[in-house]
Amino acid sequence: MAEDGPVGGVDYPRTFQEFREWFPDDAACVAYLESLRWPSGFVCPRCTTSKGWRIKSGAWMCSSCGLKSSATAGTIFHRSHTPISTWFAAAWFITSQKTGISALALQRQFGFGSYETAWAWMQKLRRAMVNPERELLSGVVELDETFVGGRSTGRQGASTGKVPVMVAVERIGSHKLGRVRFGIDYAPGSLELIAFAQRTIAPGSTISTDGARFLRRLGTLGYTHKYATGYNSPDISAELPGVHLVASLLKRWIAGTLHHHITVEHLPYYLDEYAFRFNRRDSAARGMLFYRLLQQAVRTDPTPLSDLYRI
CA angle at 293 for the pair 198 and 147, rounded to the nearest 5°: 45
Q: Can you tell me the distance from the alpha carbon of 166 to that of 193, in angstroms, rounded to the nearest whole number? A: 7
37 and 99 share one domain? yes
On whether residue 135 sits in a domain, the answer given is no
First to last CA, the chain: 38
| Whole-number pLDDT of residue 231 | 54
On whether residue 10 sits in a domain, the answer given is no
On whether residue 133 sits in a domain, the answer given is no
Domain encompassing residue 189: 140-276
220: closest CA among 247, 260, 191? 191
Q: Can you tell me the distance from the alpha carbon of 223 to that of 226, in angstroms, rounded to the nearest whole number? A: 9
- SS3 of the chain: CECCECCECCCECCCHHHHHHHCCCHHHHHHHHHHHHCCCCCCCCCCCCCCEEECCCCCEEECCCCCEECCCCCCCCCCCCCCHHHHHHHHHHHHHCCCCCCHHHHHHHHCCCCHHHHHHHHHHHHCCCCCCCCCCECCEEEEEEEEEECECCCCCHHHCCEEEEEEEEEEECCCEEEEEEEEECCCCCCCHHHHHHHHHECCCCEEEECCCHHHHHHHHCCCEEEECCCCCCCCHHHCCHHHHHHHHHHHHHHHHCCCCCCEHHHHHHHHHHHHHHHCCCCCCCHHHHHHHHHHHHCCCCCCCHHHHHHC
73 and 24 share one domain? yes
On whether residue 306 sits in a domain, the answer given is yes
Residues 250/163, Cβ–Cβ less than 8 Å: no
The 10s digit of each residue's pLDDT in 263-284 is: 888 899 999 999 999 999 988 8
124 and 149 share one domain? no
260 and 303 share one domain? no
Q: Which strands make up the sheet holding 176-184, listed edge to edge?
A: 176-184, 162-172, 140-149, 206-209, 224-227
On whether residue 66 sits in a domain, the answer given is yes
Per-residue pLDDT of the chain (311 residues; tens, 9 = 90+): 655 789 999 999 999 999 999 999 999 999 999 999 999 999 999 999 999 999 999 999 999 999 999 999 999 999 999 999 999 999 999 999 888 899 999 999 999 999 999 999 999 999 999 888 899 999 999 999 999 975 545 444 434 468 999 999 999 988 899 999 999 999 887 899 999 999 999 999 999 999 889 999 999 999 999 998 755 566 655 789 999 999 999 999 999 888 767 888 889 999 999 999 999 998 888 899 999 999 999 999 998 887 887 65
292 and 234 share one domain? no
pTM: 0.88
Q: What's the structural domain count of the chain?
A: 2
Residues 56/114, Cβ–Cβ less than 8 Å: no
On whether residue 3 sits in a domain, the answer given is no
Report the CATH number that the domain containing residue 183 is assigned in CATH.
3.30.420.10
Bridge partners of 12, per DSSP, are 8
On whether residue 148 sits in a domain, the answer given is yes
